[in-house]
Chain A
Amino acid sequence: MSAHLQPTGSAYFIAAETQVSESHTLSVLVDNEPGVLARVIGLFSGRGYNIESLTVSETEHQAHLSRITIVTRGTPHVLEQIKAQLERIVPVHRVVDLTVRARDLGHERPLERELALVKVSGTGDHRVEALRLADAFRASVIDANTEHFVFEITGKVSKIDQFIAIMKPLGLIEVCRTGIAAMNRGPQGM
């Protein structure tokens, strides 16, 4: 990481960061109130942390709670800071580093899934090939006419990346991805 991007913000960090940066998935349980998402992402931009993926939706309507899933990248020290800083925000109830929790449970990663809508346009062989590949990837057709398909695909990020790459030469027009939804394996809750 270059010096001016050091997420701790202070120029006094001349000392080279020796730890390796890694990607972690955080679950943040927040009050579903106006501005709460701005507080969370403002923290990330203000302190120079990265956001690789962000998903948010209300999960408990009665309790007015929303769950924000953030994939971020940093050294273990920075990740620990991100968690502490998030916990300081008043409407934040809990922050769980799912990646750390997964390792504690003996898994490599938490369960992480993403949904994508992929629009492909074409005729002839390209069209047949696109449909065949979609079938192989278990993507379903949710809209079509004689010149296009819209596929819905769900899965790991790598699977979706691969599907999109394959569709490129077959007439890829448009992609929309939801970002990652994640939780850990096993009977325990967050």
Chain B
Amino acid sequence: MSATENQMTGAEIVLQALKDNGVEHIFGYPGGAVLPIYDEIFQQDEIQHILVRHEQGAGHAAEGYARSTGKVGVMLVTSGPGATNAVTPLQDALMDSIPLVCITGQVPTSLIGSDAFQECDTVGITRPCTKHNWLVKDVNQLAGIIHEAFRVAKSGRPGPVVVDIPKDIQFATGTYVPPAMVPAKHNYQPKVQGDLDRIREAVALMQGARRPIIYSGGGVINSGPEAAQLLRELVDLTGFPITSTLMGLGAYPASGKSWLGMLGMHGTYEANMAMHDCDVMVCIGARFDDRITGRLNAFSPNSKKIHIDIDPSSINKNVRVDVPILGDVGRVLEDMVRLWRAGAQTAGKEHLSDWWASIAKWRARNSLAYKPSDDVIMPQYAIQRLYELTKDRDTYITTEVGQHQMWAAQFFGFEQPNRWMTSGGLGTMGYGLPAAFGVQIAHPDALVIDIAGDASIQMCIQEMSAAVQYEAPIKIFILNNQYMGMVRQWQQLLHGNRLSHSYTEAMPDFVKLAEAYGAVGLRCEKPGDLDGAIQEMISVKKPVIFDCRVANLANCFPMIPSGKAHNEMLLPDEATDEAVANAIDAKGRQLV
């Protein structure tokens, strides 16, 4: 190709670079500073642009799209407010390691710094909430920067990046360079292969373990389906019990015999007790987050800890480990499985029988128990029924943030990776609806359900309009208890039951709201009607808002109160009003 053939405008370069990076869908919202790019979108049909109703929705939709496909999510927004509205999903993607390329328009270079209309310092504002960002000042560098942006977003620990393109650069003519001709310019070369000596050391520790546990996280999902397969193989070979973080659900199947359920603040008693009492902990692609560890100086006090992670700054950050292994989870698991097979002790698992007996005792405490009711729908029951009635389908679940999210994690059984989309690190209310929309765009024939709360759902409800426009039949399953349930639960725990602003006095009629958007609204108030209503929701081929009226005052247990250790859980049958009021001491009160 001669140089003249590769001459394009900046806007054409953007579209060409997206195509060459395998992009099929972008989520966006037009505005003055991106009009040239939108004009190019209009004149082609290889890439489908999905119009959202708010830039935050574009970001979460791109996150859901990315998480459910393993591809890079792409969003396109204008300058100023377009860019600032993108900040929440960028930070969300940063904390949950979701690969995202965000293209923002910028005022023309001649106006930068003049407080022009819809100008903001986009690279300044997004610097701490991206892996990296670029302001493009020369159209000839545009293609290279976009290719580099995709590489940075998806390699190593994945994350969001921003490419800020001034309007004059979009109009200017320059040379397009295809991805293959752009060398990986930066010194950014994450280490993916684990150190074999360290892996040997880890396997030796694991072979000598009497009370081992595997604690896996979102890194296994990020590493790809092969990593989840290898994790399953490792669990089967070793006979070790396995628990997972919120972000890692589905990597090991919930029906698997070694599964202990999720761990952490609202994890199961058996998972947390096993973490506390274990002698060897194998942390795979997780980061010892405060929701997982509880009080750090009482975290698994007598164990040797192995930590596999691709991000060097995650190792020894919160918890010091004995055997750190830097590398991609999939590659390291491959070596680990191979070395385990080659080892002598592969035959018997009898030495773990005492450990499994202890776990059985903890499991018998039935920490997820709740009091069933014939009169009102218990939220846990609603999730259980939703699971039973959808488990044989091609189902994807997203959530908002709060009690419903924890109940979904506790009661919905995930059998496969990439089926569970939730805002774990940032805890973004409003994530679930646009994320479900993004998932549905990637998987048009799947059943995509956003398990929501009545408060969270109102934070990005406008994307119902986008779902209706694109005939994306997402199902919004609201556990409606009229409260910001998790806020109220903490007020009960910490603030003498003074429910300051956690009750929603004026709730919209969700059925009418759905109808106003052109979707279908359903309401269910009695446990006896629930199965039928869920069936109806599934059978409708349009977007649905399901207003599931649940017990207003139900709380989410078990729980590690803040400032407490794994073996100091508050179990549902012990959570009397008095126990709840006194669960957290003065020191724990200052925690989040």
Contact = CB atoms under 8 A, between A and B. Distances in A.
Contacts of B592: 11
A9 B536 CA distance: 47
A21 interface: no
Interface of A: 8, 10-15, 31, 34-35, 38-39, 42, 46, 77, 80-81, 84-85, 87-94
Contact of A81 (B127, B293, B317): B317
Contact of A15 (B152, B296, B311, B316): B296
Interface stretch (B15-23, B128-136, B435-443): B128-136
Given A10-B318, A11-B590, A31-B186, A81 B313 contact: yes
Interface string B312-334: 11011110100000000000000
B566 to A, nearest CB: 13
A80 B318 CA distance: 12
B123 interface: yes
Interface range on chain B: under 10, 10 to 19, 20 to 34, or 35 or more?
20 to 34
Contact of A80 (B152, B186, B295, B316): B316
Contacts of B296: 12-15
Given A11-B591, A77-B316, A34 B132 contact: no
A77 B297 CA distance: 15
Interface of B: 123-124, 127-128, 131-132, 135, 152, 186-188, 290, 293-297, 311-313, 315-318, 320, 562-563, 587, 590-592
Nearest to B590: A11
B313 A88 contact: yes
Given A11-B590, A81-B313, 14 more contacts: A8-B317, A11-B591, A11-B592, A12-B293, A12-B294, A12-B295, A12-B296, A14-B563, A14-B587, A15-B295, A35-B124, A42-B127, A87-B313, A88-B312
Contacts of B290: 10-12
**B contacts with A: majority SS:** loop
B432 to A, nearest CB: 26
Nearest to A13: B296
A38 B124 contact: yes
A8 B294 CA distance: 15
B128 A46 contact: yes
Contact of A84 (B123, B312, B562, B587): B312
Given A11-B591, A11-B592, A88 B311 contact: yes
Contacts of B294: 12
A87 B152 CA distance: 14
Given A85-B313, A90-B188, A34 B135 contact: yes
A89 B354 CA distance: 46
* Pairs A-B, 6 closest by C-beta atoms: A15-B297, A84-B313, A90-B132, A12-B290, A93-B187, A11-B591
A93 B186 CA distance: 8
Contacts of A84: 312-313, 315, 317
A13 B319 CA distance: 10
A37 to B, nearest CB: 11
B240 to A, nearest CB: 27
Nearest to A80: B316
Contacts of B297: 14-15
Contacts of B295: 12, 14-15
